[in-house]
Amino acid sequence: MIFRQLFDQVSSTYTYLLADEATREAILLDCVFEEHERDRALVRELELNLTCVVDSHCHADHVTGAWLMKRALGCQVALSPAYGAKNVDRPLSHGDEIVFGSHVLEVRATPGHTDGCLSFASPDTSRVFTGDALLVRGAGRTDFQKGSARTLYRSIQEQLFSLPDDWQVYPAHDYEGRTSSTIGEERRYNPRIGAAAREEDFVGYMENLGLPHPKQLAVALPANLRSGEPEDGRVPTHPDWAPLVVTYGGISEVDPEWVAKHKADIHLLDVRGTAEWDGELGHLEGAQLIPLDELRARLAEVPMDRPIVTVCQTGKRSALATTILKKAGVPRTANVSGGMLRWRQLGLPS
């Protein structure tokens, strides 16, 4: 199974990408609105077919990226029907199975943090995705969204601690950078519900946490009741000057074919050395040559009235050039993917 754990620094949310290595079918657990481009780039680069975006529950601390992903890739949105959220294609209940290729996630109802919280067990990889029910050395707060410490105690004991000790626990959040745990570890060391904690111990603990009201609640909850669809219908704006692709590495790239057709609308910046400029790959007509190691010192020489498209031999140095330009305040810049080498392979005119 292909497995990736992704992290959103603002909300401390873990997003999980799971996929079948052979069929490339993939599912995404608990994706974050603001991380849409990152998640989409990873799906694209791993050549996966995202079939379903799953939310463990209706979050209060971040807006889900589910609707954005459905809009972009046509995948289904899955969530418990307990919230009555819009845009849900697949209402999930206890006992349901989410199949992707030869793998399956078993849905386990683990209410208590909210009344619709779900956990997902992966028997063939001995992993369980616990949402905000069981956290690493913690448990999700139970003081709002129809939360109940008594219900959560029973959910964890019956649905999660009933799993084998060696199963790995992957939560939806961690604020200390703890990425995973095991059922055995949490059964022993979880300070809220581990060791011989009884229901009264857990409830007493949870009811006296004294946590501040979640900052994002007023924004996140209504948005998540629409699966993250913006209320005004406005989606995050993409640069409109070129069909840019943002890589998982965070680089804005543009195809050589597009660049060849739109040379008049952009400024081409070649960041190779002077020997390469006149070397076997030659250079493009109208391009400006500033070797990468001189770019920071010679920024004033770069015309800023048009979008700047950077090029080098294979697109590596020019990728760094775009980040240098962005840091210098250039809003419209992109890298020619594959560089001069690909340009020549495609037989495009100089």
Q: Of 95-103, 125-133, 180-188, 281-289, which segment contacts Fe ion by CB under 5 A?
A: 125-133
Q: Please, which residue, 174 or 253, has the CB nearer to Fe ion?
A: 174
End-to-end CA distance of the chain: 44
Q: Which residue has the tokens 């998640």?
A: 39
Cβ pair 80, 114 in contact under 8 A = no
User: Which span (131-139, 190-198, 235-243, 269-277) binds Fe ion, by CB under 5 A?
Assistant: 131-139
> Count of CB atoms within 10 A of residue 319's CB?
23
Min CB(333)–Fe ion separation in Å: 38
Minimum CB separation from Fe ion for residue 134, in Å?
A: 12
Q: Smaller CB distance to Fe ion: residue 64 or 310? A: 64
DSSP letter, residue 32: B
Nearer to Fe ion, 132 or 229 (CB): 132
CB 267 within 8 A of CB 330: no
Closest to Fe ion by CB, 57 vs 103, is 57
At a CB cut-off of 8 Å and minimum separation 6, what does 271 contact? Answer: 290, 291, 292, 295, 310, 311, 312, 317, 318, 321
Region binding Fe ion by CB under 5 A among candidate stretches 64-72, 89-97, 128-136, 285-293:
128-136
- 270 lies in the site for Fe ion, by CB under 5 A: no
CA angle 160, 164, 168 (to 5 degrees): 75
**Chain position whose Cβ is nearest to Fe ion:** 132
Nearest-angstrom CA–CA distance, 40 and 28:
10
Nearer residue to Fe ion within complex by CB, 64 or 335: 64
Q: Which residues of 158-188 are buried (b: 16+ CB within 10 A; e: fewer)?
A: ebbbebeeebbbbbbbbeeeeeebbbebbbe
- Of 132 and 276, nearer to Fe ion (C-beta) is 132
- Least distance (Å) from Fe ion to the CB of residue 276? 53
Q: Are strands 181-182 and 168-171 parallel, antiparallel or unpaired?
A: antiparallel
Count of residues interacting with Fe ion (CB under 5 A): 1
Measured from the CB of residue 131, what is the shortest distance to Fe ion in angstroms? 7
Q: Which of 132, 174, 255, 270 binds Fe ion (CB under 5 A)?
A: 132
Stretch that binds Fe ion, among 8-16, 132-140, 180-188, 246-254 (CB under 5 A): 132-140
Binding-site ranges for Fe ion (CB under 5 A)? 132
